Amino acid sequence: MSLARASWRRKKFIVKPAWLNKKIDLRACAQVKQVLRELRVETVCEQAMCPNIGECFSRNEATFLILGRHCTRMCSFCNIEKGKPSIVDFDEPERVACAVEKFSLKHVVITSVTRDDLKDGGAGIFAETVLRIRSKSGNIKIEILIPDFQLSLDALAIVAQAPVDIIAHNVETVPSLYSFARQGADYARSLDVLRQVKKIEPDLKTKSGIMLGLGEKQDEVIEVLQDLRLAGCDFVSIGQYLAPSGRHYPVKEYIEPERFYFYKEQAKEIGFLHVESGAYVRSSYLAGDYLKDVDKKKQ
């Protein structure tokens, strides 16, 4: 165990405040899960233990997880399983497209585990999944939430040139906390991912997300927002980190609603086209609203 990880594991856990009491509709989840299991597709909603799972599933919304269940990175905040990745399933894009069609989705988000073991990081499967969805659901809005692909320009070109509406890549936290919470990732590299996507496809909308409550300071959050805009990022999500279990990086602070509002106003002043900021906000939460807001401003 690293010294950094050992130090945070000795920290005391703090009590969750009253405003974080979202209930999960297990009945709605069960109905959607049944269809997902029949089609043999995974969702990050389930794997990451997202608190919005009941709300999103009840609206027939889901973020699909491709390229297996095991991640090659060791982020201590994430509930995705770590370990030896599975063999690439080349039939998976078709099954995901069938699920999208089955749920009659209007906006779909596709993400993946990080696959550093693959030459293209899985970019080809991302692109194939997008194409299969387009073939079945032509008018749908498609968003892909990608890993950093180790900043492979070839891999980024593959996903950027696919017929997508949004490419998202999350910085997750402030750079000073990367060695504790985001082992294997690099803050500057993540900014470069967003920057390079814009260079490849300047009109393509980009998005990122940051979690609060890991021990970051206010000026660090503002600096991250500024860095993202300088990298050409159009959209941002700001949410509360909730530790999936006692084995994960602990919550250092529960952010009050007023501070989320403050960060939202700051992000809007910095120039983001759409901002979602709140305790239960996640990168894919209310994903369809980002483009709707842009369309309204054009009118």
pLDDT attached to residue 202: 96
Does the pLDDT value for residue 113 go beyond 80? yes
Say how many residues make up the chain. 299
Does the pLDDT value for residue 150 go beyond 80? yes
**Mind listing the pLDDT tens digit for each residue in 43-63?**
876 655 566 766 776 666 678
**Mind listing the pLDDT tens digit for each residue in 236-251?**
999 999 876 667 788 8
pLDDT attached to residue 19: 73
pLDDT attached to residue 96: 96
Task: Give the separation between CA 13 and CA 43, rounded to whole angstroms.
Answer: 29
Task: Give the orientation angle of helix 187-200 with respect to helix 218-230, to 10 degrees.
Answer: 30
Question: CA dist 286 to 166, 268, 282, 283, 289, Å?
Answer: 14, 17, 8, 8, 6
Q: Which one of 2.40.50.100, 3.20.20.70, 3.30.450.90, 3.30.450.40 gives the CATH number of domain 3-298? A: 3.20.20.70
Instruction: Say what the pTM is.
Output: 0.89
Does the pLDDT value for residue 171 go beyond 60? yes
